[in-house]
Chain A
Amino acid sequence: MTADTSLDEPAEATREASRADRPTNILIVGVGGQGVIMISKVLALLSQMHGAEVKQSEVHGMAKRGGVVFSHVRYGKKVWSPTIAKGEADVLIALEWAEGLRWLDFLRPGTGVFVSDTRKIVPPFACRNRKFGADRAYAKETPAEIVSRVGNGYVLDATGAAEDLGNTRAANTVLLGALSTTLEFPAEEWENVIDQFVPKGTQEVNREAFRYGRDWVEKARRDPAFGLSDANAYEAPVLLPGEVDVELEINETWCKGCDICVKLCPERCLALSEKHKATLKNPAACTGCRVCEWLCPDFAIRVKRTAAAEAAE
């Protein structure tokens, strides 16, 4: 493999930017720990090496705790604001699928380039609705749908590619490779700068990851079907239809008020009565999960579930 993977296609984001004689705006988004800041630093150094003024702004107070991380990079002859306004990002690069969707409104309509990993990092927050058959509250839009909606969209399984290369953490470098095709800096310079920001001993795998991302976009430009291959492989949600009615039967004679079910109910819908017996204080919140039934040492609780349709009859 050679470093020189010169492309046939012009760098659309930059061409448009220089025409308008304004800063180039790149928004990098992801989840804490994915390497958003590394991408920003690579971009900042590269553009500074090319004589541009650079501002890179991030908010990372909660970054380590699995929260949203985003970084604005702006470079050009003169850059005032450190932040990018909605609708003005020339490139939006997302290290995680739902994060890409969250920031999509920042993309410049028409010319903005969207580069995203198709991988999902599902937060615990998405698994909150524990009703029968409920799905994760993640995001309903699929990569194929988004590619058709944005002007220039490159969605690839960067994490999968990095895994295949032997280092999952190189996924951000795969995306850097894809990003590099949209900007004016030569491939060798990208690789040299990336070398300086990746951990010692991972330079080679990161170089391979970079070239993978670059080649991927090149292929996608030649062959739109290839460009949709990862998007189409995105898993559709598995859903169970139907609803159930739940009824809790508590045998007060057997209940000794030990409180175990009250303490451990995931929905906090049980309580101890005045007589120190378990009662269902919030039937609407009960999902019929049966944890109380299983944990009760005295077999005093039974969860009865019937399909809603049957119950109506």
Chain B
Amino acid sequence: MTYREANVPGFGADTMARPLTGNEAMARGVWEAGVKVAAAYPGTPSTEILESVATYPASDITAQWAVNEKVSLDVAIGAALSGVRAMSAMKHVGLNVASDSLMSQTYIGVHAGLVLIVCDDPGIHSSQNEQDTRLFARLANAPILEPSDAQEAHDFVKIAYDISEEFDTPVIVRSTTRLSHTRSSVTVGPRVEVEPKGFVGNPQKTVSIPANARRAHPKLIEREEKLKAFFAASPLTQVDEGTTTYGIVTHGTPYLYVKEVAPDAKVLKLAASYPLAEETVKAFAASVDRLLVVEELEPVIEESIKALGIPCEGKVFFPRVGELSPEIVKAGLAAAGLAEAPAEPPSYDINPVVRPPVLCAGCPHTASYMALRAVDGRVAGDIGCYTLAAVEPLRSIDTTICMGASIANAVGMAMAGTNKEPIIATIGDSTFLHSGIPPLIDAVYNKADITVIILDNKITAMTGGQHHPGTGHTLRGEKTHQVSYIDICKAAGVEWVRKVDPYDVGTLYRTIREATEYKGVSVVISERPCVLDPVRIKGQPLKVNPEGCVACQSCMNLGCPAITWSDQFYEGHRKVQIDAASCIGCTLCAQLCPSDCIQPVNA
């Protein structure tokens, strides 16, 4: 067996320890726990969880992309109530979408185990905010388990199913970007089949009408007390002995940073920030002279401890914003007078060019935003790779709020009456299916004068290329019905719908212009597959004829990573050159070039 085989997460029942990412480890835990139904909508850093689940046999587990996080949770709830273990995975902001279901589900309870894996993004590596899912857990009265490394991620997922069934509650397993994307050795186990319990008809439990909900709420409070006692008695709540001059309460990945910089400290590692293992915390606090709390983002543990009347110090020394690190924890301990101030290592004081992410060479979104730059409208953007067009040189997006916000934002801009520019919403194909359809119906219903551009690159690109109903393929690669955007628009009542190829710059520009001149809701579908996924597209590259280049910079306006300056000048301005290795031959630059000096390499 080669390493590569051994490292495929779905590889058989072999229990050899192997390096897995947190996401792969959690997927393994889901499979081992005998889960039958798993659903998710992709979102960094959670995407690979369901992708890894799909590497296990379809006969063991159903793994499917949902159109959005709420749908994924609703699918999992339906499966759990039907008596099989179920999982729904999402990124932190995905839980906002799914929260409506979660808030009721905690009242209703589960039948078979139901686990939500939610990945937070402290440090905002690839998100629009850094909200703390632990606050959601407290709001929903759902227990939240917080593993610190891949082994715990694997183990906690399995334990979460037992807790879910024992206490009749959905359980959240919270990861973070650091855990999800850190690979470390994991000892895995075999899958344990769980006998399906079947659906038990009990409307008093599963129909949340006021009368039933009123009965359920006190049970929720009771359950919280039971869970506090459970976590206080459980070995999941772990005390590392050490010096008693001070003690640190911590959780999840911050535990690793604490151990790294304060190996001799007495540490209480909570497996759950909510419900708090109160008795353990009280005993721990009594055993040390001074109590500190090291937690990432919000002071959830700190406030709960203070509510018990126990003095502790947390956010006064450790930041509430951003991702923690060993350096930050050490600096916090130093501020508390418990460690020497970390010596700042000597700096080389070098500031090379910043390298923000850019749209790929040949990205079909580039042309759409190039055209929008010229239209000079008021543009409501959405979530996806195309958000990169909010910065120069394309700079043509005015707002980006969250998934699916663009169309309704545009409706509001139109109703405000303060914008004399054409009002345009741009939204990707996957995002449109996620949450763009209700606002489109709303726009037609309320007679808004807006243009919607659906950027159909035929994949969920930002998260690395996942299928969705518009691709006609399922997660496991099976063919399925392919959604037609034109049909959806027509059914919503849109009378002006036009499809256009963004590589045809002239037609694209004219089409968008015509669409903005139309009174009412117009939809332009800019259709071209992503250059990376599902297949990497590579055509005949182009080259610049340096004699012809007049350094006008028109092509540089695309922000294409294949185009840079050469060392030749025309009247004091740099001529351009094209890197043949990264150019895919989309011809956008050639179409913009006023001196016609960009040609195919072999022309």
Interface positions of A (Cβ within 8 A of B): 31-32, 40-41, 44-45, 48, 53-62, 64-68, 79-83, 85-88, 98-99, 101-102, 104-105, 109, 122-128, 130, 132-134, 136-139, 141, 149, 168, 193, 196-197, 238, 240, 242, 244, 263-264, 266, 287-291, 294-295, 305
Interface centre among A82, A98, A139 (most CB of B within 10 A): A82
A58 adjacent to B374 (CB under 8 Å): no
What B residues does A48 contact at CB under 8 A? 19, 185
Residues of B331-372 at the interface with A, using a CB-CB cut-off of 8 Å, are 345-348, 350, 352-360
**Among the listed B4, B357, B464, B551, which residue makes an inter-chain contact with A197, where contact means beta carbons less than 8 Å apart?**
B4
- Determine the chain A residues whose CB is within 8 A of the CB of B393 once the complex forms: 124, 128, 266
Instruction: Knowing A266-B556, A289-B553, A291-B594 are in contact, say whether A123-B184 is a contact too (CB < 8 A).
Output: no
Contact present for A81 and B19 (CB under 8 Å):
no
The closest CB in chain B to the CB of A303 belongs to B571
Q: Output the least CB separation between B123 and chain A (Å).
A: 8
A95 to chain B, nearest CB (A): 13
Query: Are B357 and A66 in touch, CB under 8 angstroms?
Result: yes
Candidates B177, B563, B565; contact of A59 at CB < 8 Å: B177
The chain A residue sitting closest to B375, CB to CB, is A263
* Contact with A53, one of B2, B177, B184, B348 (Cβ below 8 angstroms): B184
A54 to B150, CA, bound (A): 11
Do B356 and A67 touch across chains, with their CB atoms under 8 A apart? yes
User: Within the assembled complex, what's the spacing in Å between the Cα atoms of A129 and B359?
Assistant: 20
Q: Kindly state whether residue B327 has any CB partner on chain A within 8 Å.
A: yes
Closest beta carbon of chain A to B318's beta carbon, Å = 15
* A130 x B553 contact (CB < 8 A): yes
The answer to whether B3 and A83 touch across the interface, beta carbons within 8 angstroms, is no
Chain B nearest CB from A299 CB (Å) reads 14
Interface CB pairs A-B, < 8 A, 19: A45-B3, A54-B183, A65-B360, A66-B355, A66-B360, A80-B259, A82-B149, A88-B345, A104-B348, A123-B561, A124-B393, A125-B354, A126-B564, A130-B573, A136-B353, A139-B352, A196-B2, A240-B572, A294-B552
**Residues of B544-580 contacting chain A, CB below 8 A:** 550-554, 556-557, 559-561, 563-565, 567, 569, 571-574
Residues of B contacting A263 in the complex (Cβ-Cβ under 8 angstroms): 373-374, 376
8 Å CB contact of A81 from B326, B464, B552, B559: B326
Complex Cα spacing A262 to B532, Å = 33
Contacts of A98 in B (CB 8 A): 352-353, 355
Given A56-B184, A61-B45, A67-B355, do A127 and B572 touch, yes or no (CB 8 Å)? no
Is the beta-carbon distance between A61 and B355 smaller than 8 angstroms?
no
Q: Are A294 and B594 in contact (CB under 8 A)?
A: yes
B-chain residues with CB within 8 Å of residue A149 when the two chains form the complex: 348
Contact check, B348 vs A105: say whether CB atoms are below 8 A apart.
yes
Nearest B residue to A86 via CB reads: B345
- For the A-B complex, the count of residue pairs with Cβ-Cβ distances under 8 Å equals 201
Instruction: A82 to B184: give the CA distance in the assembly, Å.
Output: 9
B288 at the interface (CB under 8 A from A): no
7 closest A-B pairs (Cβ-Cβ)?
A87-B345, A61-B126, A67-B357, A139-B352, A65-B357, A263-B374, A62-B357
A59-B177, A136-B564 as given contacts; A295 in contact with B594, CB under 8 Å:
yes
Determine whether the beta carbon of B565 is less than 8 Å from that of A127.
yes
Whether A136 lies near B565 (C-beta < 8 A) is: yes
Q: CB within 8 A of B352: which of A45, A138, A244?
A: A138
How would residues 259 to 290 of chain B score, 1 for a CB under 8 Å from any chain A CB and 0 otherwise? 11000000000000000000000000000000
Chain B residues with CB under 8 Å of A87's CB are 345-346
Contact partners of B573 in chain A: CB under 8 A: 130, 132, 287-289
CB of B528 closer than 8 Å to a CB of A: no
| Complex contact A124–B556 (CB within 8 A) | yes
| A139–B257 CA distance with the chains assembled, in angstroms | 33
Q: By CB atoms of chain B within 10 A, which of A53, A141, A291, A305 has the most?
A: A291
Min CB–CB distance A22 → chain B (angstroms): 10
Q: Is the CB of B345 within 8 A of A54?
A: no
Are A290 and B550 in contact, with the CB atoms below 8 A? yes
A299 to B567, alpha carbons, bound, how many Å? 30
Asked whether A109 lies within 8 Å of B355 as measured between CB atoms, the reply is no
The reply to whether A59 and B181 contact each other, CB–CB distance below 8 Å, is yes
Pairwise interchain contact B181-A58, C-beta atoms closer than 8 A: yes
Q: Is B159 an interface residue (CB 8 A)?
A: no
Contact of B327 among A54, A86, A139 (CB under 8 A): A86
Q: Nearest chain B CB to A285's CB is how many angstroms away?
A: 12
Which A residues lie within 8 Å of B346 (CB)? 87, 109
Is A55 a contact partner of B392 (Cβ separation < 8 A)?
no
Q: In residues 156-209 of chain B, which contact A (Cβ within 8 Å)?
A: 177-178, 181-185
Contact, CB under 8 Å: A56 / B44: no
User: With A57-B181, A80-B256 in contact, is A124–B348 under 8 Å at CB?
Assistant: no
Q: In the complex where A83-B178, A244-B572 touch, is A65 in contact with B19 (Cβ < 8 A)?
A: no
Chain B residues near A80: list those with CB within 8 A: 256-257, 259-260
What is the CA–CA distance of A64 and B462 in the complex, to the nearest angstrom? 9
CB <8 Å contact, B594 and A104: no
- Say if the beta carbon of B591 comes within 8 Å of chain A: no
Considering the chains assembled together, what is the distance between the CA atoms of A83 and B346 in angstroms?
19
> Which residues of the partner chain A approach B356 to less than 8 Å between Cβ atoms?
67, 123, 125
A-B contact sample (14 more), CB < 8 A, given A41-B183, A102-B352, A105-B347: A56-B183, A65-B359, A98-B353, A101-B350, A104-B348, A109-B345, A123-B561, A125-B353, A126-B564, A127-B574, A130-B553, A130-B556, A197-B4, A294-B595
